[in-house]
Chains A and B, each alone.
Chain A
């Protein structure tokens, strides 16, 4: 396989995963924006959405205020924003088109259809009553593509590079969501005990589609340490850092088998898996949740870079 092909497959997956995560973030942000405004925190809710999406700087360069329609438009449609859902789908589709030979017909048609439909949407038509439907549709399209991938692709390097992209991106997203909101999980948080924290905790879980499953797993009301444990260390939760790293471990070992070579990314991923295996949520809180997340995001970036270097993504 060409290095360029591996690179395109990796980023194709990353961009689709990003689009899906973005849909969830907008959903949660919008939900909060609809609520009656009580505390100071609400005005800043869109700011934390933009931060979680890594889009705050770009947005503020183009807009003076944080208002709902501007933020939604920036995150959904803006061509100036390379992480807007429309941009993500267009980039993913461009990569897919460049790699038609590597992906299956089902994967291509699924993504191309999504792109055609997305391009046909006029942002002005997306009134507030249509927004939830559109966000659901985006998650569905992403799921359809993942389904086509899992059902039709050969379990060789094509599959492994696609998986790597998905889970490097997902780990990054989950870590960012937590990091932007880490303060609401800390015991010193001043609004503690108010209705705000419950809402904030719920919104963290909603951002990763985990507010329902949480109850089943912890059999308890929302507790900050449980939420952090769930998103960081729980191997059953499919968007937790642990889950992502178990998938990454599978994928790098898959490449190791396929190519008969052990690259640097294999021990690096293994080390992170071990770190998460041994991790205790109490210890993480004691030594600093924010520091832990910052370190994790850096590790995750390093893994991405090691993969890119090992497999000659850039020739």
Chain B
């Protein structure tokens, strides 16, 4: 793997323009002071309860996501291009979903193998013929973007189901402004604080059109033991909407209600943060206690809007991913502004053979995996790990895709030994409603271990504040 592009220093040869003020400031800091600041930041997160649960972690349930105090900076012009690419992409993804749940033109045109869609476990046949308001399926999308050079950005994943992390984007900024007000005086950082307002506007805009009152919106959480619970309560609080659990809701006379102190109150838009499988035990997972029996029928009748729509996961399925450039072209008529990472589907015998021959150079992922679980990073794996993975891959090739190991860009990060480059990615959060809303920012995740390319919080990744500079 070649030397990685550094966000601050490029490929060497001096500090890049967006980082000028920060580099100057950083040069004047003592490492002990920075570490002290980091400790203060952690105490702040802990007191505020900005914690997450790690699956399978048992009792020691609440952990902090490590926060790095050195910001990640993107210039205004770089952001403009990213924003254009993101908008194009989310339009195409929503058009794709409307199509495959209706006339399936793209399948008829042979641009995607039909079985890849209709036999996909992320495809929800119950959604066929359902018409969500404004034809939007994925209202809230977190697009994972990585960078390998000054102008080389790739989309790694489109999270179209229930992307999380936006609360960290907002709280990281709060923490930075609290701790380093001077830095904000020296840099023109675009504000992101209107994200919750934008989210609320988006949710309101997709309520059923014929309502004779202001829509009632609620956020459905699995409860306080869910790993993203902090985010659920944070967003509900910021928007001033009720945070409900499945047992707070009931379906009656073809409508959805929440149980309030004054009796039942109808809910018009449900921002759900539980998976499709758990939404409605009558239609999906029958043993689920998290959802609401009868919810799907209410949805299908247009009496409640579910955000994101059931079945939206088909658009971020890893087996569909390699067809996204086709999808963008098919629905927008233009070539994609943001590139995909070249991807091999192991269900294809030729691709499989190539992958098996080159495991030590590739990243191999499960088609339905997430959170960085169940993946192989070839260059970082031992011979034994590679052989173990080879066996799994051969046993069920269709379950895997493979990508070249990208030299993800790095950014100066505070580590035990001082300030050192660490690999990172970027997840901007885009909102799709009556229009597309994108706050200039995102969640930067950073792999804190030296040389590691896995940025997931469940795998020891941390986060940084992300600055989009204004012209």
Interface residues of A (CB under 8 A from B): 1-6, 94, 97-98, 100-101, 105, 108-109, 112-113, 116, 157, 259, 261, 311-312, 315
Segment 232-257 of B: residues with Cβ below 8 Å from A: 233-234, 236-237, 242-245, 247-248, 250
Q: A108-B49, A109-B47, A112-B49 are in contact. Are A101 and B237 (CB under 8 A)?
A: yes
Alpha-carbon distance between A101 and B233 when the two chains are bound, in angstroms: 6
Among A6, A105, A108, A315, point to the contact of B247 (Cβ < 8 A).
A315
For the A-B complex with A101-B237, A101-B243 known, give 19 more contacts whose Cβ atoms are closer than 8 Å: A1-B261, A2-B242, A2-B244, A3-B260, A5-B242, A94-B224, A98-B223, A98-B224, A100-B49, A100-B233, A101-B233, A101-B242, A112-B48, A311-B261, A311-B262, A312-B260, A312-B261, A312-B262, A315-B248
- Give the distance to chain A from B371, nearest Cβ to Cβ, in Å: 23
- Give the distance to chain B from A176, nearest Cβ to Cβ, in Å: 29
Among A98, A109, A312, point to the contact of B263 (Cβ < 8 A).
A312
Alpha-carbon distance between A274 and B47 when the two chains are bound, in angstroms: 44
Q: Is B392 an interface residue (CB 8 A)?
A: no
Alpha-carbon distance between A97 and B392 when the two chains are bound, in angstroms: 41
Q: Which residue of B lies closest to A313 (CB)?
A: B261
B236, B237, B245, most chain A CB atoms within 10 A: B237
Residue numbers in A under 8 Å from B224 (CB-CB): 94, 97-98
Q: Is the pair A4, B259 in contact by a Cβ cutoff of 8 Å? A: yes
Alpha-carbon distance between A113 and B46 when the two chains are bound, in angstroms: 9
Q: Is B258 an interface residue (CB 8 A)?
A: yes
Residue numbers in A under 8 Å from B234 (CB-CB): 100
Q: A4-B245, A101-B243 are in contact. Are A259 and B262 (CB under 8 A)?
A: yes
Among B48, B237, B261, point to the contact of A6 (Cβ < 8 A).
B261
Residue numbers in B under 8 Å from A1 (CB-CB): 242, 260-261
Q: Which residue of B lies closest to A116 (CB)?
A: B46
Q: Which residue of B lies closest to A104 (CB)?
A: B237
Q: 16 A–B contact pairs at CB < 8 A?
A: A1-B260, A2-B258, A3-B260, A6-B261, A100-B49, A100-B234, A100-B243, A101-B242, A112-B48, A112-B49, A311-B262, A312-B259, A312-B261, A312-B262, A315-B248, A315-B259
Q: Which residue of B lies closest to A4 (CB)?
A: B248
Alpha-carbon distance between A29 and B111 when the two chains are bound, in angstroms: 80
Q: Is the pair A2, B259 in contact by a Cβ cutoff of 8 Å? A: yes
Alpha-carbon distance between A259 and B265 when the two chains are bound, in angstroms: 14
- Give the distance to chain B from A155, nearest Cβ to Cβ, in Å: 16
Alpha-carbon distance between A105 and B233 when the two chains are bound, in angstroms: 12
Give the number of residue pairs across the A-B interface with Cβ within 8 Å.
64
* A-contact bits for B216-234, CB 8 A (1 contact / 0 none): 0000000110000100011
- Give the distance to chain B from A260, nearest Cβ to Cβ, in Å: 9
Q: Is the pair A261, B262 in contact by a Cβ cutoff of 8 Å? A: yes
- Give the distance to chain B from A101, nearest Cβ to Cβ, in Å: 4
Alpha-carbon distance between A259 and B245 when the two chains are bound, in angstroms: 23
List of 3 A-B pairs having minimum Cβ-Cβ separation, nearest first: A100-B233, A311-B261, A101-B237
* A-contact bits for B250-281, CB 8 A (1 contact / 0 none): 10000000111111000000000000000000
Q: Is the pair B47, A3 in contact by a Cβ cutoff of 8 Å? A: no
Q: Which residue of A lies closest to B234 (CB)?
A: A100
Q: Is the pair A3, B261 in contact by a Cβ cutoff of 8 Å? A: yes
Q: Is the pair B260, A2 in contact by a Cβ cutoff of 8 Å? A: yes
Q: Is the pair A2, B248 in contact by a Cβ cutoff of 8 Å? A: yes
Q: Is the pair B236, A101 in contact by a Cβ cutoff of 8 Å? A: yes
- Give the distance to chain B from A271, nearest Cβ to Cβ, in Å: 23
Residue numbers in A under 8 Å from B229 (CB-CB): 97
Residue numbers in A under 8 Å from B243 (CB-CB): 100-101
Q: Is the pair B236, A3 in contact by a Cβ cutoff of 8 Å? A: no
Q: Which residue of A lies closest to B247 (CB)?
A: A315
Alpha-carbon distance between A302 and B237 when the two chains are bound, in angstroms: 33
Among B48, B233, B237, B248, point to the contact of A109 (Cβ < 8 A).
B48
Q: A1-B260, A2-B260, A94-B224 are in contact. Are A113 and B236 (CB under 8 A)?
A: no
- Give the distance to chain B from A37, nearest Cβ to Cβ, in Å: 42
- Give the distance to chain A from B281, nearest Cβ to Cβ, in Å: 17
Alpha-carbon distance between A116 and B242 when the two chains are bound, in angstroms: 27
Q: Is the pair A157, B261 in contact by a Cβ cutoff of 8 Å? A: yes
Q: Is the pair B258, A100 in contact by a Cβ cutoff of 8 Å? A: no
Alpha-carbon distance between A236 and B22 when the two chains are bound, in angstroms: 60
Alpha-carbon distance between A112 and B248 when the two chains are bound, in angstroms: 25
Residue numbers in B under 8 Å from A6 (CB-CB): 261
Alpha-carbon distance between A6 and B234 when the two chains are bound, in angstroms: 19
Residue numbers in A under 8 Å from B250 (CB-CB): 315
Residue numbers in B under 8 Å from A2 (CB-CB): 242, 244, 248, 258-261
- Give the distance to chain A from B75, nearest Cβ to Cβ, in Å: 34
Residue numbers in B under 8 Å from A5 (CB-CB): 242, 261
Alpha-carbon distance between A216 and B462 when the two chains are bound, in angstroms: 59
Q: Which residue of A lies closest to B218 (CB)?
A: A2
A1, A94, A101, A113, most chain B CB atoms within 10 A: A101
